[in-house]
Amino acid sequence: MTKYYNNILCCFIIGLIIVSQGCTSSVETKKEEKVRYEEKTIKTVKNIELLEREYIKSLKIKSIEKINFNLNAEGKPIKNQKLSTQTFNSDGLLIETIVYDSQGKIEYKYSYDYDKNRFRIKTARNNSKGEMTNYFTYEYNEYGNKTKAKRFNSSGVPEEYYIYSYDREGNLIEEEWFSTTNTKIYNIENEFNNDLKTESKTYDENGDLINKYIFRYDDKKNIVEEIKYDGRGLQMGVIQYVYKYF
């Protein structure tokens, strides 16, 4: 499971969910039903990726780095580690994500393919040698928000799938990871205030809390910091965001 926990830090952009092709179990059907919205007339449901893309374009953000600071017993930073770098083009599209290992070396590079409507249709993950290890495909609902993602190995064999659930305003409130046998192996629950994500909790396959993250924003509503806690509520570190602009 350690590999799964590390992967979650890598994937700002990557909604990675994998399922065997043709899977029609009742478990999957129930999960997909959760992404339906209560009432369309209450509020216009937002397209998350479109809004993020337009926002990044308007601020002319070129890249975002995430840097983790571990804390000592007194709560002071003792070590920093670059976790990832996301790069965007001038239209706000995510074009590359680099994930670093504990030594600061490149571990994975993610690249993205989009359709003519700029929906992400495929993500490829390459190792430090440039070899593709996995790829991901996506499904979307009528609002343009992804409802499922599937992960395959380089030979096209399904490995995992994710199901995404939203509130009626279009905020992503839950992400569930499943094996190809439909066994839940991980899930993430998010809380929002005025459409800004304020808290995120991750749970293991037994429903036990692994980590909790509290988010802080600047006056432009950019995330600038994640405060990380373990399952016991002890603060483990701080993840800071560094923005670079065109």
Q: Where are the domains of the chain?
A: 2-216
d(CA 120, CA 116) in angstroms, rounded, equals: 10
CA torsion 34→40→43→44, rounded to 10°?
100
| CA 101 remoteness from chain centre | 18
Q: Tell me the Cα Rg of the chain.
A: 18
Q: Which residues contact 90 (CB under 8 A, 6 or more apart)?
A: 57, 60, 246
Rounded to two decimals, what is the model's pTM?
A: 0.79
- Contact in structure between 92 and 101 (CB atoms under 8 Å): no
**23 sits in which H/E element:** none
- Contact in structure between 199 and 189 (CB atoms under 8 Å): no
Question: Using one digit for the tens of pLDDT, what is the confidence trace for 92-135?
Answer: 999 999 999 999 999 999 999 999 999 999 999 999 999 999 99
- Contact in structure between 110 and 29 (CB atoms under 8 Å): no
- The token pair at 153 is 């190995």
Q: Which fold has domain 2-216?
A: Lipocalin (2.40.128)
Question: Using one digit for the tens of pLDDT, what is the confidence trace for 197-224?
Answer: 999 999 999 999 999 999 999 999 999 9
The residue among 73 and 95 whose pLDDT is bigger is 95
Q: How far is CA 9 from CA 3, 48, 132, 236, in A?
A: 11, 20, 20, 14
